[in-house]
Amino acid sequence: MALLDIVTYPKKILAQKTLPITDFKNKRWDRLISDMAETMYNAPGIGLAANQIGEPLRLAIIDITSSEDTANRALHVFFNPKILEKSKQIDFEEGCLSLPGVSAPTRRYEEVVVEFQDRQGNKKKLHTSGLLAVALQHEIDHLEGRLYIDQLSTLKKDLVIKRFKKLQSMKKSS
């Protein structure tokens, strides 16, 4: 396993739609998933999309267990996920590994039904709610070339970006 570099805003790949995965026999996926998981856990985060590590592929991983609870990790792997159904919206404070150090309240669906493929390419459906539903929407947005800040008002988005850039410049100068 290897730690990968996480692509940060405003890199172009984060604003591009990813490509579907069709070759499930490729052994590369096991290594990529393993490296993505190590990177996500190390960050620490609860989700990571392939384009966040520079791969323009429709692949995301999520684990909403506590970062301290390493014995009971539950990594979910989603190839080619898409939302089929959604419920009412809720407000949720959201952050992102590609915009480290900042967060903002966003609107997300409380429940979603997602269709995806597993590691072997089998089609699956998952009906979920709460944090997993929010994380899935966040990662699927990445795969569509969208960031959570894209759904904020122009004013709020500008404030988050300004805060992020300030944090980045402070980080570079220290």
- What is the pLDDT at residue 67? 72
- 107-137 pLDDT, tens digit per residue, is 999 999 999 999 999 999 999 999 999 999 9
Is 1 within the bounds of a domain?
no
Q: Burial level of 72, CB count in 10 A (0-12/13-18/19+)? A: exposed
- What is the pLDDT at residue 68? 72
- What is the pLDDT at residue 43? 96
User: Whole-angstrom Cα distance, residue 4 to residue 91?
Assistant: 31
139 is catalytic: yes
Identify whether 56 is preceded by a cis peptide bond (ω within 30 of 0).
no
| Total tally of structural domains belonging to the chain | 1
Is 108 within the bounds of a domain?
yes
Q: Which domain holds residue 22?
A: 12-173
Is 45 within the bounds of a domain?
yes
Is 3 within the bounds of a domain?
no
- What is the pLDDT at residue 70? 73
- 66-104 pLDDT, tens digit per residue, is 777 777 889 999 999 999 999 999 999 999 999 999 999
Q: Which two tokens stand for residue 121?
A: 């390419």
- Among left, alpha and beta (phi > 0; psi -120 to 50; other), residue 54 is left
CATH of the domain at 141: 3.90.45.10
Is 137 within the bounds of a domain?
yes
Please identify which of the residues 38, 115, 139, 144 carries the catalytic annotation: 139
Q: Taking 80 as the threshold, does the pLDDT of residue 106 lie above it? A: yes
Burial 94-108 (b: 16+ CB within 10 A, else e): bbbbbbbebebebeb
